[in-house]
């Protein structure tokens, strides 16, 4: 079953056409990595999927899920790293968009705690967010995103700024969510090898070349060979 379908999608800023005639579909249970050089339109596509920017042509359609049920992990900014709140407050804030209520009820609180537990950071709930390591902060933001996500999790370069250990742990968490919780994942990635290792589908955006399809097909392409210096698997 398709959760997201993009058909003949074009997106542009004034006269700068960033995405042109892009078509792809994400099925329930997919783990899609979006890769491509800087400026190829990865973040712009995310904005379209999240409904923050309208297509200039074509369509982006979610099916069986509303935009409020999409969990989103944005790229971390310096400001976010110093956010003055406790871990549980940060995670709880992920429930607001979904319920449209001003105050948290016991269901929201249970959900926040369950997601902290799921990510192995229950013991951090009363800690100050800004005092955590980068890897712990990313887990907290992921727990926050999971408060909204019922079926689809969208992430923008979730491992940027993380050390190799925290990066490997985050990939493991995402793989687990995908396999055991059947969470559909769409993630922007700058790390082509990890993308290939972790996802079942790849969307490679570029100025000239675009690939969309299964990972096992992607690794047979010239574009993958060029990107990895001839290291065909
Ligand atoms: P990526 O995420 O792949 O690096 P982006 O989607 O951020 O690429 O950007 C794609 C192109 O759109 C770039 O040429 C960028 O300069 C341009 N762009 C991005 N955001 C804006 C904006 N708010 N206004 C105008 N141009 C933008």
Q: For domain 1-65+152-163+175-233, which architecture applies? A: 3-Layer(aba) Sandwich (3.40)
Cα of 165 vs centre of ligand 1, distance in Å, is 30
What pLDDT shows up at residue 78? 64
Q: Produce one character per residue of 178-211: b if its CB has 16 or more CB atoms within 10 Å, e if not.
A: beeeebbbbbbbebbebbbebbebbbbbeeeebb
**Which residue has the CA at smallest separation from atom 16 of ligand 1?**
39
16: Cβ below 6 Å to ligand 1? yes
Cα of 44 vs centre of ligand 1, distance in Å, is 6
204: Cβ below 6 Å to ligand 1? no
Chain centroid offset of residue 127 CA:
25
Token couple for 38 = 């800087």
44: Cβ below 6 Å to ligand 1? yes
Residue among 9, 15, 16 to mutate when testing ligand 1 (max atoms within 8 A of CB): 16
What pLDDT shows up at residue 76? 76
**Which residue has the CA at smallest separation from atom 6 of ligand 1?**
41
Q: In what order do the strands lie in the sheet with 16-27?
A: 16-27, 2-13, 57-62
**Which residue has the CA at smallest separation from atom 17 of ligand 1?**
39
Number of helical H runs and strand E runs in the chain: 10, 9
What pLDDT shows up at residue 228? 84
**Could you list the mean pLDDT of each consecutive 10-residue stretch along the chain, which spans 233 residues?**
95 92 96 94 94 95 90 78 86 72 80 92 94 92 90 92 90 94 94 94 88 96 85 49
What pLDDT shows up at residue 104? 80
What pLDDT shows up at residue 19? 94
Among 42, 36, 35, 30, residue whose Cα is nearest residue 200: 30
43: Cβ below 6 Å to ligand 1? yes
Residue 101 to residue 165: CA distance in whole angstroms: 38
Task: Tell me the DSSP string of 137-161.
Answer: HHHHHHHHHHHH-SSEEEEESTTTT
- pTM given for the model: 0.91
- Contact (Cβ atoms closer than 8 angstroms) between residue 97 and residue 84: no
Give residue limits of the domains in the chain: 1-65+152-163+175-233, 75-150
What pLDDT shows up at residue 233? 46
What pLDDT shows up at residue 15? 82
* Residues shown for the chain: 233
Residue among 33, 35, 41 to mutate when testing ligand 1 (max atoms within 8 A of CB): 41
What pLDDT shows up at residue 96? 67
User: To which H or E segment does residue 36 belong?
Assistant: strand 31-36
What pLDDT shows up at residue 100? 58
Backbone angles phi, psi at 132, to 5 degrees: -85, 160
């Amino acid at each position: 079953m398709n959760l997201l379908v993009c058909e003949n999608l074009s997106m542009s800023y004034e006269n700068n056409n960033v995405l042109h005639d892009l078509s792809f579909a994400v099925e329930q249970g997919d783990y899609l990595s979006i890769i491509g050089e800087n400026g190829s339109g990865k973040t712009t596509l995310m904005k379209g999927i999240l409904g923050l920017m309208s297509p200039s042509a074509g369509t982006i359609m979610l099916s069986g899920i509303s935009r409020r049920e999409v969990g989103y992990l944005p790229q971390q900014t310096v400001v976010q790293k110093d956010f003055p709140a406790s871990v549980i407050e940060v995670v709880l804030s992920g429930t607001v968009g979904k319920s449209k209520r001003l105050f948290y009820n016991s269901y929201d609180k249970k959900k926040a705690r369950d997601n902290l537990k799921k990510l192995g950071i229950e013991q951090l709930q009363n800690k100050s967010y800004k005092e955590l390591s980068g890897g712990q902060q990313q887990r907290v933001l992921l727990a926050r995103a999971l408060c909204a996500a019922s079926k689809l999790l969208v992430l923008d370069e979730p491992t940027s700024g993380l050390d190799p250990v925290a990066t490997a742990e985050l990939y493991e968490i995402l793989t687990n969510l995908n396999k055991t919780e059947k969470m559909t994942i769409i993630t922007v990635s700058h790390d082509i090898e990890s993308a290939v290792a972790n996802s079942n589908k790849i969307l490679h955006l570029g100025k000239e070349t675009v690939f969309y399809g299964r990972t096992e097909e992607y690794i047979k392409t010239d574009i993958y060979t060029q990107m990895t210096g001839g290291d065909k698997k």
